Amino acid sequence: MAVEILRANIEHLKARLSAETDPAKRGPLERQLAAQENELAALIETRSQRRED
C-alpha cells in the first residue's frame, strides 16, 4: 500500500511541476519530488532485501 501511495504522490508532484512556472514554487516541488522518489526507492530496496533473506 505504501508503494502505491508514494507512486501516486510522485505522479501528482510531476503534474504540479509541469504546470508550475514560478521558480520560487518549483524549487520546493522539486525537493518534495526527489524526497518521494528516494523514499520509494528505499522502500523497494528494503522489500527486495527481505525477500532475499
Q: Does residue 53 carry a pLDDT above 80?
A: no
Q: Does residue 3 carry a pLDDT above 90?
A: yes
Which pLDDT does position 39 carry in this prediction? 98
CA distance 22 to 26: 6
Average model confidence (pLDDT) for the chain?
95
- Model confidence at 45, pLDDT cuts 50, 70, 90, reads very high
If we measure between CA atoms, which residue out of 6, 2, 15, 12 comes closest to residue 37?
Answer: 6
- Model confidence at 50, pLDDT cuts 50, 70, 90, reads confident
Query: Does the pTM exceed 0.85?
Result: yes
Cell matching residue 3: 508503494
